[in-house]
Chain A
């Protein structure tokens, strides 16, 4: 990164409980609730806010265009500057980074990033159809457009390439649903076994219902500030240490079969025969991680990160993402979860909140939810916000949040660091 601009801190956050359907509140009221929670937590008022970024994925779900300005309006933020940012599943991560950029550039001293999605206005299968429209509508969608199908093909290839097993995929589901038992904001906390995952209805071989995240209604809000405002408004802010963003081809079929993009702790000899990224790995995830690590000064991610909240829309994509983020080498992701390295008390806690699998995935809110949970972890205020301290990772100093779109088309990685 040529110039990081001024330091940016997260100073507060709020999340609504994610649910299958919350018809008693629309997206504006839901966002307002998360917004008020965040403002009240640090005693901020509207006058403390310089501008905002609106994060939501699809106009289709509610057949309402310009939802962003409707939320801005409802929150009482007009006529302050604002914009909508959209990038599929990574909408939340991209919006959060857009907020960081607003402050880093010096344009704003404080910026609120609010995200929401209301997916309950259409049935699950219509929702899947809308999501599948985020694939090439000339070549991919008409074949049987279904994102779980696309991820399932990546999973069969990952299994072929590296020997990953369906039981290893299931272990991700067991871990994340189990963590969520202690997260009051989560949609589907569950104590389940590997057998439960394998015995649940098959969605797209090898992915079962419990390998796949659910549709949700939800909202999340993050408040960002420059150093002066951060310490004026908040006694325990968290530093945004580095950001990274990667992209890849829209069509899975177009992914190249070249050389691995190496992280500082890897060498070419690690991957002599691996054709990369193919469809087994996410080049955008690796690129995002590489940029974020460079700007945060991280050279050995497994040793230098205490917590990762990553985009586990599918159990298989959590395993793929361990590898993209360099928590292990390419091909070792299945063993990484099997050996308990991603557990709450493992080498690095991955998705201590329960992730998308258990929290739900109201798309525009998801990446911001990750930021809020990471913020509370690094502030060490999980007990205050969850009324349960089970998930608090002791002595957590540094964490990474990871947001992911399409078949790995946009991916963001953001490193956050405790100040106290």
Chain B
């Protein structure tokens, strides 16, 4: 047991960043590392290292997803992995000149939704090696893969088909 009436908080030099005094506006810092599990989507990310894009196919109704999901939205059944072709076409596109803070230093960049022959849904990705005015819906494009993986969906990206 301690009873110390002279107890005193240690002074620090941290201080606070103040933006305004009326009203009082101060800086409040926050950051965090998440332990993010890809869970049932894990195989997709691993396959990118083998230069494969894995979609999924419903075991029951045969619906094929370009962006994989463990269960079918049409019938609720389990899906299996389905290897997508490495070539597709642009279904829609844009060029982002601004973005979320995490991506601002990458602007401008192009986003595309890719359609694959015989596949029922689309796949979102980036395309490089083109200017906005070169992009058009229906443009044939080809997948490329990073050699050194980031283990996120940017490990695959697209370029115009030669």
Contacts and interface: CB of A to CB of B under 8 A. Distances in A.
Interface of A: 23-24, 63, 123, 125-126, 128-132, 137-140, 142-146, 148-150, 152-157, 160, 201-206, 249, 251-257, 279
Interface stretch (B9-17, B66-74, B77-85): B66-74
A146 B100 contact: yes
Interface residues of B, number: 45
A254 B28 CA distance: 38
A53 B145 CA distance: 48
Contacts, number: 133
A63 B113 CA distance: 33
Interface of B: 20, 23, 25, 28, 30, 36, 38, 41, 65-67, 69, 73-74, 91-104, 106, 109, 111-113, 120-126, 132, 137, 152-154
A129 B66 CA distance: 25
Mostly helix, strand, loop or mixed at chain B's interface?
Answer: mixed
A153 B96 CA distance: 10
A164 to B, nearest CB: 13
B41 A138 contact: yes
Contacts of A63: 28, 30
A126 B100 CA distance: 6
Contact of A143 (B98, B104, B125): B125
A132 to B, nearest CB: 5
A354 B157 CA distance: 40
B121 A256 contact: yes
Contacts of A138: 38, 41, 153
Contacts of A256: 74, 120-121
A132 B100 CA distance: 7
Contact of A139 (B74, B96, B104, B124): B124
Contacts of B103: 129, 144-146
A254 B100 contact: no
Contacts of A145: 99-100, 102-103
Contacts of A131: 100
A144 B99 contact: yes
A257 B120 contact: yes
A329 to B, nearest CB: 21
Given A139-B153, A143-B125, A204 B102 contact: no
Given A63-B30, A129-B100, A132-B100, A205 B122 contact: no
B37 to A, nearest CB: 10
A205 to B, nearest CB: 5
Nearest to B111: A149
Nearest to B37: A138
Contacts of B102: 129, 145
Given A63-B28, A144-B106, A279-B113, A253 B98 contact: no
A251 to B, nearest CB: 6
A156 B111 contact: no
Nearest to B107: A144
